[in-house]
Structure 1
Amino acid sequence: MKVTLLTKEYPPHIYGGAGVHVKNLAAQLAALMEVEVRCIGEQESRRHHLSVKGYQPWERVWEEKFTSVLGTFSANLAMVGKRVDADVIHAHTWYASLAGFMAKMLYNVPFVATVHSIEPLRPWKEEQLGRSYHLTNWAEKIALENADRIIAVSHNSRAEILQHFDVQPERIAVIHNGIDISTWKPSAARATRRKWAIPRDYILFVGRTSRQKGMKHLIQAMERIDPGVTLVCCTSAPDTPEVEQEIAALVARQPRVLWINELLREEQYVEIYSHAQLFVCPSIYEPFGITNLEAMACEKPVVASAVGGIPEVVVPGETGYLVPPADPRALAEAINTVLRDRRKAKQMGRAGRKRVEERFTWQAIAWKTMDLYRSLLPGTRAAEPLFFPHRGESPLASRGYANPPLSEP
């Protein structure tokens, strides 16, 4: 069996949860079948059963706000210009959805779309994209309503898809996001904390500089959080310069905020998660929220908004607390509850790690995804033998994919 994954993000160009998802899913699936990744960028590599090819978008167009969407569409056209010989096409996010739809039409290949968020629920994107935001809605609608199967990353996301698109319920499967538990685990490293002069007592936010992530509500909550605690915000990829400037103004007025406004390496994030008192996810919209898994894998309690797929990850009173979105007072109360009972916080952190190990490994997610692919194939192809590792063994380690290179010389 062969699958072609279509995506905007792929290493080394990852800035959000969808990119993390595709990176890990591709590596795991490559231990089970042939995997081709077509992405936006200049990447080109091949190792064993995993090949990667980047496609460049157009140069900037006359209207700056249209560049992102029209450039994305141009890269989608390039992705399908080369013949597709896979058994299944699998597109991720609206950024690659149009390529998935076109590949289905051109090459008569089953088309799977994974929904990491839906455009109708992100109206603030019009601030970033101008009227081209309406084209992202159009592209997503065309793709989802013509996909053979849709993967939702949470049950809540599935309900949103059914509400906003003309899709039969039986075409939507729920397969949660995952975490690489061999990488994301408590770390004793100190270098990153020394570099940024991160104090001993801190709470942590990690995410894009976007209205969606609710960072401003967390900064406002610092007025009510117990003294002696610093908020460390690790952000990147601002939606617009205006959003970044708004956050900068809030940070300037709050002396207990340390803002690391650049993309870090994975091992640096692991270190910063590992030594925080707790992790905070104040999103106002979050179909899943991989950062919560990252924190839990590093044995940290989580305080998060009760939105989207987050309640399917964070168990209130067991692995953290859930609060209403856009409510700085509720955020502060929950954060203080964790800070004032460090013993309970450690118990929550250990429970979070256990939950991640039991429910959210990429190995299990890859197998579920493979089963969905096979359900779309004719009987003879679906019956093809596939590699299965021994019980408890990672297919990555078995096939030498534990640390796949980002590029080949």
Structure 2
Amino acid sequence: MASTDRINLTYLITGLQYGGANIGMVRLLSGLDPEEYDITVIAVVETSDDVVDLLPDHVTVHRLNIPEVTESYRVLKLVPLLRGTDVLVCSLFHASVVGVPLARLLGVPQVLVWQHNTQPANSLRYSGFHGIYRLADRVLADSNRVESFVRSEYRIPTSKISVLPIAGVDTETYCPADPETDADHISVGTVGRLTPEKGFDDLFRCARQLGPEYQFYIAGDGPKREWMETHTPKNVTLCGTVPNEDIPQFLNRHDIYFQPSKREGLCMTVIEAMSCGLPVVGSSVGGIPESVVPETTGYLCEPEDIDCFADRLAELGSDPKLRQQMGAAGRERVIDRYSQSVLVEKFEQVVRGAETQ
């Protein structure tokens, strides 16, 4: 593909609901020059359209709306949509398991697949990815840990993997602001779907251990909502879903960002919090240890280590100068490594055939 060619780019993703991979897609496609790319987004399964309005106007959106396996014949609608595609990007399992084999049958010149975490949800997905990665031209790994996982677990050669964090943060939107916190307590914020892997049960334990001097605020919704509502400590507030455009304001209401996940990929919300100048206390899982530098931009603990989490939160809570120093260092790290311009530049290096390692 010559460097001057206009590229027909198709981005096949499982759904259009809010999520790290979905927001990352929006940020990547928003940064690509419409004079150089014809862009189509295709959603495989039937979901809410949360991110559609965030996409640029020049992006064409199609929905296969496959509600269940028994209607998988709808995948045939992909055939005419993929014809003429120069580059197919597949994100998340359902999109990848459908898109990669079909793209190979249709002769799509370049097929890329994202890997967003280091632990497939089940053995079926593990086996599916094993085949998908061998058919694809390149695997896009969200972090160095994901790259290592793909290389060791799936035996994919390093030459076929590009480390490409999908954060793509707009550092002018996600920026520090004057805190709106109450001087009578330390405010700790977190953002994420209310699912078991996010570790909110451990957040509850930390909240009980630290007491009312520390107030915790959780933005998000999900399947654990009902359980959480009946077990919420008095110093924890469930804020529900916060619109994407209001996340920077939510983050800037807090003194510390807390991510006690048991399983993660890149963890975009950690990076967004760092961009807003917040120190982070998080689990040493997935890509979090690559974004959070211990003792410099925050602290890391082993997942489920409640004493460690509580001690680190207390240390930051008692030292405003330390919070400011770590927050400033975190923001600089985001600008250097996780901004939208960095994401777009590295992605285009992959598409144009340049090295990204």
TM-score in same-fold range (> 0.5)? yes
Taking the aligned partners of 1:118 and 1:146, their CA distance within structure 2 comes to 20
Per the alignment, in what secondary structure is the counterpart of residue 270 of structure 1? helix
Question: Structure 1's 81 and 247: CA in aligned 2 closer, same or farther, altered over 3 A?
Answer: farther
Query: How far apart are residue 213 of structure 1 and its match?
Result: 1.0
> Which residue in the other structure is 1:174 paired with?
163
**Distance in 1 (alpha carbons) for counterparts of 2:71 and 2:271:** 29
Contact 1:119/1:140, CA 8 A, preserved across alignment: no
- In 1, the alpha carbon distance for the partners of 2:20 and 2:298 equals 21
What are structure 2's unaligned runs of at least 5 residues? Answer: 1-6
In the aligned structure 2, how far is the partner of 1:310 from the partner of 1:25? 21
Q: Where does residue 89 of structure 1 map in the other structure? A: 88
Q: 2:283–2:300: 8 Å Cα contact kept in structure 1?
A: yes
Q: Is 1:54 equivalent to 2:63 in the alignment?
A: yes
Measured after TM superposition, the shift of residue 139 of structure 1 is 3.2
Instruction: Show structure 1 runs of 5+ residues with no match.
Output: 59-66, 124-133, 377-409
- Normalised by the length of structure 2, the TM-score is 0.86
User: CA shift at 1:267, angstroms?
Assistant: 3.1
Structure 1: distance between partners of 2:147 and 2:125: 19
Partner of 2:114: 114
Q: Residue 143 of structure 1 aligns with which residue?
A: 132
Which secondary structure does the structure 2 equivalent of 1:35 belong to? strand
Taking the TM superposition and a 5 Å limit, the aligned residue runs for 1:214-229 are: 214-225=199-210, 227-229=212-214
Aligned to 1:383: none
**2:15 is matched with which residue?**
9
Contact kept, 8 Å, 1:213 with 1:283, in 2: the verdict is: yes
Within 5 Å, which residues of 2 pair with 1:9-408?
9-10=15-16, 13-14=17-18, 16-31=19-34, 32-40=36-44, 41=46, 49-58=58-67, 67=68, 70=69, 76-80=75-79, 82-109=81-108, 110-117=110-117, 120=120, 122-123=121-122, 134-178=123-167, 179-187=169-177, 201-225=186-210, 227-238=212-223, 243-251=224-232, 254-261=233-240, 263-375=241-353
Relative to structure 1, the CA distance from residue 330 to residue 100 in structure 2 (aligned partners, 3 Å threshold; closer, same or farther) is same
Output the amino acid matched with 1:176. Answer: P
In structure 2, the residue corresponding to 1:204 is in which secondary structure? strand
**Does the CA-based 8 Å contact 2:137-2:160 persist in structure 1?**
yes
Alpha-carbon separation, structure 1, partners of 2:242 and 2:28: 21
* 8 A contact 1:9–1:18 mirrored in 2: no
- Normalising by structure 1, report the TM-score: 0.76
Distance 1:347 1:158, change over 3 A: same
SS in 1 for 2:257: strand
Q: Count the aligned residue pairs.
A: 339
1:71 is displaced (CA, Å) by 7.4
The answer to whether the 8 Å contact 1:4/1:36 transfers is yes
**Shift of residue 188, structure 1, vs aligned partner:** 5.7
Cα pair 2:255 2:278 within 8 Å, conserved: yes
| Residue pair 2:171, 2:339 contacting (<8 A) in 1 also | yes
**SS of aligned partner of 1:366:** helix
**Displacement of 1:5 after TM fit?**
0.6
Q: Does the 8 A contact of 2:186 with 2:317 survive in 1? A: no
**What is aligned with 1:390?**
none
CA distance in 1 between partners of 2:276 and 2:171 (Å): 9
SS at match of 1:101: helix
Give the letter for the 1:9 counterpart. G
Shift of 1:147: 0.9
With over 3 angstroms needed to count, the CA separation of the structure-2 counterparts of 1:72 and 1:151, relative to structure 1, is: farther
Distance 2:222 2:351 in 1: 33
Whole-Å separation in 2 of the counterparts to 1:234 and 1:50 = 29
Distance in 2 of aligned mates of 1:270 and 1:145: 39
| Identity, % of aligned positions | 24
The alignment partner of 2:162 has SS state of strand
Instruction: State the Cα distance separating 1:48 from its structure 2 match.
Output: 6.5
